[in-house]
A and B are shown apart, each in its own frame.
Chain A
């Protein structure tokens, strides 16, 4: 496969097709809509299922229905739409059926705007619906990485029987970049032993999230927590840029990770040893790796397109005594590398005074 120029949203959609997604349900919302539009033709041409739902509420429950039958299914949306999907995500998590969700974040709160934002970090990593559950959350910084993560997301969703969210800001959904598509996979015809496919020749199977006895519901919760633990042990991903000898370590995900790279290069030219630690898995957060790296750095600068949400995970990772600074913009404003560099330079100046 050659490298081709792809629009982010369309590339993510094509990656899902190649991963063998059987059905897609969604509702238009900027800056995610091209994903839905792309699949409206691609899926139909392949004889697969595409349906534009009447709302995100309906879309996620259509997804839930398909997931109960054990075939690959996904939806995509952007911030306000994800809010509407939270009910369904909680039921899906409790039912332990695999689902892939792409979230192309926009500015909020409320109707906000259609500019790129990272203001839903809490939503995807903390509050994806009621109850104790944690989806696996992956955050690409390039179109290529998005393609690779969506392609893999289906395997992860099935492996852990969980919700996998690929989350990016609108910038990544909208921009065009060269990307190489993974090979086309056959649609799996395997039926998992929990799938609802009709009780021919056996007694019935039930998929439910209702457990009226407290002990039984606690058992489910313990199983979900054990799953979270396995995810924590096996699915941590992060990337670094000039981090090995950095005095000032920037931590940013997605688009902010890229901007931080440029800012680090600018700082290096000025003789400031700056580097970048970019979490790719937001849950599980790469806490241990970051903590290790923090020993060698002297200051951490968290950069986000939000008021500082991932910041809390960074603080939890490095402890309350570690000097952690923050620079962020909100409302859909994308910080320029200059601004981030200024923040680095300021910290550097302070360090020289120490």
Chain B
């Protein structure tokens, strides 16, 4: 009889809990969670990491990460993270925020955290809509995109233009690593993971503020099936929100 040897090649990261999530079918929050979990495992920092969940669909992220977690008020996660990191510089601190959370109600907090060069990592989920409250217009909703509060499509003469947060924050000296990635296919998911790894390494090396924006889907509120959503993201979001690194400080390049 020939001996069969098996190698374990894929399993749940230790930094995630073994529970079912509440996310809708087709939602990319799960993918984003998994990538962060893998990175925390690879860096071997689960035991000294504190995460901060936002108000939004990922408000319950603390159930899915087996990592100490606090729940912030809407938009205020970067301020909480600032306090934690300032008093516990040896801990790894990250926020996980949606686009309404980070780019609307929490604009002040994110800009100043980046400006101060807070040594924290921000995972920014841009799904171009307010998911949790049922699909209202977000600061990242595209021109002409229909939402429950822009039923005729976003009219920029009324609602103004979508914000590009990576480009905005990359202008700040305190920002060390700013990158936008997408979760619409495997190739891009792999790249996203690399960026998340770089972001956490930036923090661990004490180089300053790091943020990875992840273009994401919201099948339920976009009113598309999961595959259509991924295609819509690719065809509509990427042209307005170009992918790539917007800020890589010299010291980050050397990581």
A: residues with CB less than 8 A from B are: 22-23, 25, 49, 51, 53-55, 57-59, 61-66, 68-69, 71, 73, 87-88, 91, 95, 196-201, 203-210
Instruction: Please choose the segment from B86-94, B154-162, B196-204, B240-248 that sits at the chain A interface, where 4 or more of its residues have CB less than 8 A away.
Output: B86-94
Min C-beta distance of A128 to chain B, whole Å: 14
B: residues with CB less than 8 A from A are: 17, 46-50, 52-53, 59-60, 62-63, 65-73, 76, 79-84, 86-88, 91, 108-109, 112
Question: Does B59 lie within 8 Å of A61, measured CB to CB?
Answer: no
Given A62-B83, A88-B73, A209-B71, A69 contacting B88 (CB threshold 8 A): yes
Question: Does A58 lie within 8 Å of B112, measured CB to CB?
Answer: yes
**Central interface residue in B52, B53, B59, B80, by most chain A CB within 10 Å:** B80
Question: Does A61 lie within 8 Å of B84, measured CB to CB?
Answer: no
Question: Does A66 lie within 8 Å of B109, measured CB to CB?
Answer: no
Kindly state the separation between the CA atoms of A25 and B81 in the bound complex, as whole angstroms.
13
Min C-beta distance of A84 to chain B, whole Å: 11
Question: Does A203 lie within 8 Å of B62, measured CB to CB?
Answer: no
A54: chain B residues at CB < 8 Å are 108-109, 112
Min C-beta distance of A165 to chain B, whole Å: 19
Given A57-B108, A58-B109, A61-B72, A199 contacting B83 (CB threshold 8 A): no
Question: Does B76 lie within 8 Å of A57, measured CB to CB?
Answer: yes
A68: chain B residues at CB < 8 Å are 50, 70, 80, 84
Kindly state the separation between the CA atoms of A59 and B84 in the bound complex, as whole angstroms.
12
A201: chain B residues at CB < 8 Å are 47
Kindly state the separation between the CA atoms of A197 and B80 in the bound complex, as whole angstroms.
14
Q: Report the nearest B residue to A55, measured CB to CB.
A: B108
Q: Report the nearest B residue to A58, measured CB to CB.
A: B79
Minimum-distance CB pairs A-B, first 10: A200-B47, A65-B83, A65-B80, A61-B79, A62-B83, A208-B71, A198-B48, A61-B76, A66-B83, A54-B112
A63: chain B residues at CB < 8 Å are 83
Question: Does A204 lie within 8 Å of B76, measured CB to CB?
Answer: no
A58: chain B residues at CB < 8 Å are 76, 79, 82, 108-109, 112
Question: Does B47 lie within 8 Å of A69, measured CB to CB?
Answer: no
Contact of B68 among A23, A197, A209 (CB under 8 A): A197
Given A25-B83, A58-B112, A61-B80, A198 contacting B47 (CB threshold 8 A): yes
Kindly state the separation between the CA atoms of A73 and B82 in the bound complex, as whole angstroms.
13
Contact of B84 among A53, A66, A208 (CB under 8 A): A66
Contact of B70 among A65, A73, A203 (CB under 8 A): A65
Question: Does B70 lie within 8 Å of A196, measured CB to CB?
Answer: yes
Given A69-B50, A198-B48, A62 contacting B70 (CB threshold 8 A): no
Question: Does A198 lie within 8 Å of B71, measured CB to CB?
Answer: no
